[in-house]
Amino acid sequence: MSDQSQMNTQETQQAADQFRADFLAVQTEIAKAVVGQREAVEDLLTCLFAGGHALLEGVPGIGKTLLVRTISQAVDLSFGRVQFTPDLMPADITGTTIVDEVEDEKGHRKRTFRFQPGPIFANIVLADEINRATPKTQSALLEAMQERTVTIGGNEGMTHQLPNPFFVLATQNPVEQEGTYPLPEAQLDRFFFKLRVGYASREEMGEIVALTTGSAKPEINKVLDADRLIEHQQLVRRVPVAPHVQDYAIRCVLATHPRGELSDGQFATPMVSRFVHLGASPRAAQTLMLAGKCRALLDGRATVSIEDIQRAALPALRHRIMLNFEATAEQVDADGIVRNIVETLPRDAGS
């Protein structure tokens, strides 16, 4: 092996060690304020380190907003919060052009136009109860989430670049449906992961009560900055993936496609064929690959395994599968569909 190759290998190993150290450091800071929810925290940090957006679903009062706020405190990034309500307008999120009156050297007053950025111009944007806003307002996030830009004034307007890194971490309540507007499939597809945040256990509830009713408040330290986070995101993309692992991830996505006009249903399971109306998009395969790479780095491995893909399947696919009316009648959910795919999909393409 040449000296240059040895140096590159050593540098890559050092970068991988730094990735794991920073990931665990942020996780440790979050644990100071957020009790339990280990899987949700790990998956949310996977989104952060892979450069993707996250949708957190759970009933009120279980710490979704606290989790997002704590991440913004542990990572040295700017933070913006939008409380979504039915009367919220797109300009309340993206910003608007305002008129200023200024006086020149001769004392003449003249008007100038100035763009006033909205709360979306932050590194981390908390979209709280996103399903309470109208579809028009929800669509204001589409361009931002995909292109990392905001256009003011329509097609002929000015385009403003969002800061890098940029994350939308949204929350929604799955139970209370009155006064809510379900997110359209196009917007759901732009979320890297959809995470389910559940109730605390008896022991965790005791810790929560002790933490929140005592006089001491946890001090969250900033342990990661934007530049190093961007370096970690670039490192994730450099992790090698064996052809058979990539093919497994692709077959996982194709297995969500029932036979019909859009697909021949070659990999669909009987459960998919019966209950799925529309399967996952290519973004799902991209998500599985990036999440698998992140998991491999976290475990100190040089390559991605099929187990890494399987671990990411549920949060990566559950919001990208549209079920039919029979699934609703039979009380079959997307999680059951994804588990069925993972349990039955052959690891070998030739099987």
CB 51 within 8 A of CB 165: yes
pLDDT of residue 153: 65
CA distance readout (Å), 308 to 100, 258, 290: 54, 25, 10
What domain count does the chain have? 2
- Kindly state whether residues 254 and 132 are assigned to the same domain: no
Mean pLDDT for back-to-back runs of 10 residues, the chain (351 residues): 47 83 91 80 92 86 79 88 87 80 70 80 89 84 83 69 90 72 84 85 76 76 90 92 94 91 81 91 94 92 91 94 91 92 86 55
- Domain of 217, in residue numbers: 17-85+121-226
pLDDT of residue 109: 74
Q: Which of 198, 193, 202, 204 is nearest to 175 (CA)?
A: 198
- Kindly state whether residues 78 and 169 are assigned to the same domain: yes
| Residue where a domain terminates, one of 198, 226, 254 | 226
pLDDT of residue 312: 94
- Kindly state whether residues 216 and 243 are assigned to the same domain: no
CB 163 within 8 A of CB 117: no
pLDDT of residue 3: 37
| Residue where a domain terminates, one of 193, 226, 259 | 226
pLDDT of residue 282: 92
pLDDT of residue 9: 67
Alpha helices in 239-350 (DSSP H): 243-254, 270-275, 282-298, 306-317, 325-329, 334-344
Q: Which of 175, 337, 351 is nearest to 270 (CA)?
A: 337
- Kindly state whether residues 51 and 157 are assigned to the same domain: yes
- Kindly state whether residues 34 and 154 are assigned to the same domain: yes
- Kindly state whether residues 213 and 321 are assigned to the same domain: no
- Kindly state whether residues 175 and 129 are assigned to the same domain: yes
| Residue where a domain terminates, one of 204, 226, 248 | 226
The answer to whether residue 7 sits within a structural domain is no
- Kindly state whether residues 249 and 133 are assigned to the same domain: no
Is pTM, for the whole model, over 0.85?
yes
Burial category of 288 from C-beta neighbours within 10 Å (exposed 0-12, middle 13-18, buried 19 and up): buried
The answer to whether residue 107 sits within a structural domain is no
The answer to whether residue 100 sits within a structural domain is no
The DSSP bridge partners found for residue 161 are: 149
pLDDT of residue 2: 43
pLDDT of residue 6: 38
The neighbour count for residue 139, using CB atoms within 10 Å, is 14
pLDDT of residue 98: 77
The answer to whether residue 220 sits within a structural domain is yes
Q: Token pair for residue 201?
A: 């256990």
- Kindly state whether residues 63 and 138 are assigned to the same domain: yes
Q: What is the CATH number of the domain that holds 206?
A: 3.40.50.300
φ/ψ of 194, rounded to 5, equals -115, 120
Amino acid letter for position 128: D
pLDDT of residue 201: 73
- Kindly state whether residues 336 and 289 are assigned to the same domain: yes
pLDDT of residue 104: 67
pLDDT of residue 267: 85
Q: Are strands 109-117 and 95-103 parallel, antiparallel or unpaired?
A: antiparallel
